Amino acid sequence: MAELTALESLIEMGFPRGRAEKALALTGNQGIEAAMDWLMEHEEDPDVDEPLETLPGHVLGRESTSSEQAGPEGSGSAAGENKPVLTKEERQEQTKRMLELVAQKQREREEREEREALDREKQRRRQGQELSAARQKLQEDEMRRAAEERRREKAEELAARQRVREKIERDKAERAKKYGGTVGSRPSLPATEPALVPSSPSQEPPTKREYDQCRIQVRLPDGTSLTQTFRAREQLAAVRLYVELHRGEEPGGDQDPVQLLSGFPRRAFSEADMERPLQELGLVPSAVLIVAKKCPS
C-alpha cells in the first residue's frame, strides 16, 4: 500500500489530516499499523496536533526522491501514475479492516490499562499489609518493653524491701551483741506491772482486747511527722530504725542514734526498752512518739 493510500485510510477512519501525516512521518512511513499505534499511544498528548517543522518536500524518516524534488507538478504526475485506483467496494473493505484494526488496538489498550490498574491495586494492598504488620510489631514491642519495665520496677522494690529487712535484722543482732549484758535484767521489769492491776478484789479487771498491729506516729525535730503501722509484738528498735531510715539523712552515713520519748505520760525510752515489744510498752493500738537527739553519755 502506498504512503498516500495509508494517509487517506487514516483520514477516512476519522483521524485529522495533520495528525495522520504526523503519525506517518514520525513512524518512518512504515505502514498504517505503526502509524495507528503511534496515534493510540499519543492520543492524550497536548501537542499531538502541532505540525512538524520539516523542510519543504521532505517527510521525516526517509530521503526525498527525485520525483519529490521535481516540485508539485512532478509529484502530482508521479502520484497519479503510481497510486492504485480502488473501487467503492475495495475502499469500503479497506475501511472495514482499518476500523477492525482500530477496535483491536483499542481493546489491547484497555486490557493493558486494566492490567496496570490491577497491578497498582495489588501493590497498594501489599503496601497496606506491610504497613499494618509494621504497626502491629511496633505495638507488640512497646507492650513487651512496658512489661519488662514493670517487672524490673517490681524486682527493685522487692530488693529494696529485702535490704530494709536485712538492715533491721543486722541492727537487732548488733544491739543484742552490744547490750547483751543488760538483757538479764529484763525479767525484773514485769514486776512493776502488777501496780496497774486494781487492788480491790471485788472488782474484776476489764477484759483487754488483743491487738495484732499498732499505729505509731513519730514527730521529728523539724516539725514533720512519720506514720507507720507495726506488729504489736515487734520491738521498739524497729520503730527507731524506721525513723533513722526516713528522717531525711543518708542511710549509709554515720548517724547518732535518736532518743524516743512518749508525749503523755512523759517517758524516755532506754536501750533496754528497745528490745521490748510495743505491746509490752503500752504503745498498742496507737501511740505518738517524739524524736530527740540522744545526749552523749
pLDDT digits (tens, 9 = 90+) for 53-91: 653 444 443 434 434 443 444 444 344 445 556 577 866
Lowest mean pLDDT of 128-142, 158-172, 222-236, 242-256, name the range: 242-256
Contacts of 262 (CB under 8 A, 6+ apart): 269, 283, 287, 288, 289, 290
Lowest mean pLDDT of 46-50, 94-98, 251-255, name the range: 251-255
pLDDT tens per residue across span 191-227: 444 445 555 555 555 566 778 899 999 988 888 999 9
Lowest mean pLDDT of 104-113, 180-189, 219-228, name the range: 180-189
Mean pLDDT of 173-183: 74
Q: Is the pLDDT confidence value at 156 over 90?
A: yes
Q: Is the pLDDT confidence value at 128 over 90?
A: yes
Please indicate whether residue 154 or residue 83 has the higher confidence score (pLDDT): 154
Q: Is the pLDDT confidence value at 130 over 50?
A: yes
Q: How many CA atoms are closer than 13 Å to the CA of 221, on its beta-carbon side?
A: 10
Return the pLDDT at 118: 93
Return the pLDDT at 279: 87
Return the pLDDT at 196: 52
Return the pLDDT at 184: 44
Return the pLDDT at 51: 79
Q: Is the pLDDT confidence value at 145 over 50?
A: yes
Beta pairing, strands 258-262 & 286-293: antiparallel
- In residues, how long is the chain? 297
Mean pLDDT of 136-153: 94
**To which residue does cell 528498735 refer?**
237
Quote the CA–CA distance of 230 and 234 in Å, as a whole number.
7
